[in-house]
């Protein structure tokens, strides 16, 4: 059965989930900082603009997107592992809501990369600084939810 198989690989799944989360979070912390500097220190069409675009594209496509997908896959494997989630507790729902919000932040950041590609620096560095704080708040909610299991 699938439940038995998931139970047998539980520690591997959990380890891979933590690794993928670490990579995803690193990107979620770094990409908005790149956007701050891109917005405040470059002009569309310059060499520096091209360098920032390359850094942002590679971070998103080569690290963040695969890490987010892996986080979701391994997280769902954990959810479906028998005996891991107590659905009568509040914590799976607070974690789930925070993970959905974290995914929204990822998608929001990805959508704003296209602004830089189009040479349309719509938002201020201050906006990206604020968006840099949101993953931290969500991470705190997730960690407390999982560790304290309230």
Structural domain including 54 reads 2-148
pLDDT at 3: 82
pLDDT at 1: 81
DSSP string, 7-33: HHTHHHHHHHHHHHHHHHHHHHHHHHH
Task: Note whether 105 and 135 are within 8 A (CB).
Answer: yes
Q: What is the pLDDT of residues 29-44, one digit of tens each?
A: 999 999 999 999 999 9
Task: Note whether 29 and 135 are within 8 A (CB).
Answer: yes
User: What average pLDDT score do residues 47-66 get?
Assistant: 97
pLDDT at 150: 80
pLDDT category, 120, cuts 50, 70, 90? confident
DSSP string, 80-128: TSTTS--TTSSHHHHHHHHHHHHHHHHHHHHHHHHHHHTT---S-HHHH
Q: What is the pLDDT of residues 71-92, one digit of tens each?
A: 999 999 999 999 999 999 999 9
d(CA 120, CA 42): 12
pLDDT at 103: 98
Q: How many domains does the chain have?
A: 1
pLDDT at 106: 98
d(CA 108, CA 88): 32
């Amino acid at each position: 059965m699938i439940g038995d198989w998931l139970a047998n690989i539980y520690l591997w799944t959990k380890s891979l989930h933590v690794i993928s989360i670490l990579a995803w979070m690193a990107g979620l912390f770094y990409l908005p900082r790149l956007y701050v500097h891109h917005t405040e220190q470059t002009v569309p069409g310059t060499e520096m603009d091209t360098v920032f675009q390359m850094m942002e594209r590679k971070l998103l496509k080569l690290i963040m997107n695969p890490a987010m997908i892996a986080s979701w896959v391994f997280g769902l494997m954990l959810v479906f592992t028998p005996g891991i989630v107590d659905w009568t507790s509040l914590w799976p729902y607070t974690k789930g809501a925070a993970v959905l919000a974290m995914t929204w932040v990822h998608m929001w950041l990805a959508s704003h990369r296209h602004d830089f590609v189009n040479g349309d620096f719509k938002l201020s560095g201050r906006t990206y600084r604020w968006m840099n704080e949101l993953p931290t708040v969500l991470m705190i909610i997730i960690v407390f939810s999982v560790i304290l299991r309230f």
